[in-house]
Chain A
Amino acid sequence: MKKLGILVVGLLLLFLTACGGGEEKSSGEGKVTELTVWNDWTENRPEYKVYKDIIAQFNEENKDSIHVKIESIPHDQYETKLRTQAAGKQLPDMFRVWPGARIQPLVEGKVLLPLNEILDTWEGKIPEGILKDYAVDGKQYAIPANISETSLIYYHKDAVKKAGFEDFPKTYDELKDLIKALNDQKVTPIALGNKSIWPLQSVYISTIADRFTGSEFLPNTLSGKGSFTDENFVKALSVIEDLAKLKAFNEDFNTIDEAQSRTIFNSGKAAMHFAGSWAIGPILEGVENIDNIGVAPFPSFGGEGDTAKISGAAGGGIALNAELSGKKKEAALKFLEYFYDDELYQGLAKSNIVVPVQVEMDDSIPEIYKTANGFAQGGLAPVYDATLTPELTDMINNGLQSITIGEKTPKQLAEEMQKENEKGKK
């Protein structure tokens, strides 16, 4: 015990002196304005490197006047931290935000700075339809770096061919036939990881419901002009029930997460994988033969929606703290103009991220990226969790999971959602 005591005290002294010696160089060296930017770029991924490199370059070019400090927080904990600091009125100067319903509370809490004064920079460059994802009541709060298409079907070409399909199914009935054929061959039709409960909603329902109800349904319903008990919406929810009954998914789909399901698909154990454009990079990195991978839009379901559309939303936006003023505000705006520029979009495209501007595509760009990029041209349907209130998102996420295990019917979920929706209106 005594020996241990001495050891502990010794170590502590060592650290204390080490820490004392390493005092940080004071940041306020007169003229340099320091800005902190929060993000979730903790992993070693090519797109994050693009972000960080551009910031480093910006710092280098402005080394006498501005320094942008990067603070990365693991994604799953990002919002917990952001919300705690917001509650304590200690938000950083700049921070990554997600579009639509997810910036709504920040705007209502008046913690974001509108960017309208520099909006001309991107006029005509980024389509209006994408920009508006980061706008509330006509005020712009962030600039998109990328487009997140949430509903794409990735498939192994050979597996689909072997199941008797020369082309990928165009209608829901054909898709069901494909699923049955794959099951007969003892191949898992679709790799799904729904433990974290958002994939069935964000990836599946966002587009499926749009095919049944059309894109006006969701905003209308939320503003009280429609109802979730609408027959078409219930039909969309029933598709999930159908797929589960058809045994379209890997058996353990409710106990693995989204990233794990991708490894099932990559290893070839499953023929298809429904995921967003975020999966392009990881799939290209993970599969043996890139040329064997195809990407298709969701099939038509015979509803009222436009079949050229897939769901998607803007992403990668960085918002500014409403408290910024004077020199700091100027510096932050300058940074945004520098950051959201051609170099960023080029770099992201090279990292297989779908971007909101036209970029040159040479032969080095993989086929599935080009195809997926093309889908964005048909217009984007709203993504459910970017549009619904947090309570409704929670409800539909859990509800869809319940549907897959027969704990709830589509109709029950629809009624439950409508009840919550009306409660919110009061």
Chain B
Amino acid sequence: METTIKKTTQSALPLHQSTRKMSVKNTLIYAVLIIFSVINVYPIIWMIINSFKSEKEFAVNQFGLPKTLVIDNYIEAWGTANLGVLFKNSIFICLLATVLTVLIGALASYFLARIEFKFKNALYTFFIFGMLIPIHATLVPMFILLKNLGLLNNPITLLFPYIAFHLPITIFILTSFMKAFPKDIEESAIIDGCGIFRIFWSIILPMSRPALATVIILNFIYNWNEFSFALVLLNDPALQTLPLGLASFAGQFTVNYGAQMAGLTMSMIPIIIFYLFLEKEIVNGMTAGAVKG
């Protein structure tokens, strides 16, 4: 709360000095941002509008508003693709994978960023290699590996590839962020008698909030939209995740666009909510910490 008050007083100052110049500039900024936003929002609006059109109307009118609102698409999408179950599975696996990846990744990043030890750079580079692996090359080996480990077709099957393949980017972003902290942070803590994990948990993690929020969002989105592993590693319809269900509206010779758009619209809602939750962490988090520190 105190920071917001501070902010408003700050911005009031220069406003007095040259109000006109500022307002022209602000108008320009708004103009740029509005154009940027229109381009960004257009496809989403298009998707939502078309999710309310019947198949025949979609064929002749892909741009305009629907003549009559058809909610059948939503009902059909929900039923055909069994979306209820898929939503549950997706939320479960995405949350669990994201929490674990970020936790394990943050811990590793802390050591890689803040602590001197032998082979540190080699280990860091080793982790970063993971960002260069083309996913599709690993489908067959991953399938065989999980088969041999008896981990196919299990509610937690997807955790393994999801965590393994998203650790690199998580570690990459977090390490670069943590390295930027001033060197003396831990030293005073050590004098106070804090252990390494204590420092990690009570000092480094809170300071890394914006970066943590960023990697949490990234992980969640990647997992939410991940298709290939979900396709090959799970057979049981009761275990499948959303992207697979959303692909089921396109057949060999036909595509049910209305239901597809309805399904895609619904699948976007949780992820937008999730993003809105975390967005303010990205933007507010650090300022508070830095002022106090």
Contacts and interface: CB of A to CB of B under 8 A. Distances in A.
A touching B, CB within 8 angstroms: yes
Interface of A: 1, 4, 8, 11-12, 15, 18-19, 24, 36, 40, 42-45, 71-77, 80-81, 84-85, 87-88, 90, 92, 257-260, 262-263, 266-267, 275-276, 278-279, 282, 285-286
B59 A263 contact: yes
A263 B58 CA distance: 9
A120 B140 CA distance: 39
Contact of A88 (B96, B147, B228, B231): B147
A259 B253 contact: yes
B56 interface: yes
Contacts of B247: 42, 74, 76-77
A111 to B, nearest CB: 15
Interface of B: 55-56, 58-60, 76, 80-81, 88, 91-92, 95-96, 99, 139-140, 143-144, 147, 152, 155, 209, 213, 227-228, 231-232, 235-238, 244, 247-256, 259, 277-278, 281, 285
B219 to A, nearest CB: 12
Given A43-B256, A87-B144, A90-B147, A286 B56 contact: yes
Majority DSSP secondary structure for residues of B touching A: helix
A36 B153 CA distance: 14
Nearest to A70: B237
Contacts of B88: 15, 18
A43 B238 contact: no
B37 to A, nearest CB: 26
A88 B96 CA distance: 27
Given A80-B232, A84-B232, A263-B59, A282 B254 contact: yes
A280 to B, nearest CB: 10
Contacts of B250: 43, 74-76, 259
A92 B96 CA distance: 29
Contacts of B60: 267
Contacts of A42: 80-81, 247-249, 251
A73 B231 contact: yes
- Which of B144, B237, B253, B281 gathers most chain A CB within 10 Å? B253
13 contacts: A1-B285, A12-B99, A42-B249, A43-B80, A44-B76, A45-B254, A77-B231, A80-B228, A88-B144, A90-B147, A258-B253, A278-B252, A279-B253
B209 A43 contact: no
- Which of B56, B247, B251, B277 gathers most chain A CB within 10 Å? B251
A44 B256 contact: yes
Contacts of A76: 247, 250
Given A44-B80, A259-B255, 6 more contacts: A12-B92, A43-B251, A45-B251, A74-B250, A259-B253, A262-B254
Contacts of B80: 42-44
A374 B164 CA distance: 57
Contacts of A71: 235-237
B287 to A, nearest CB: 14
Contacts of B252: 40, 75, 278
A370 B250 CA distance: 27
A4 B232 contact: no
A19 B95 CA distance: 15
A73 B233 CA distance: 12
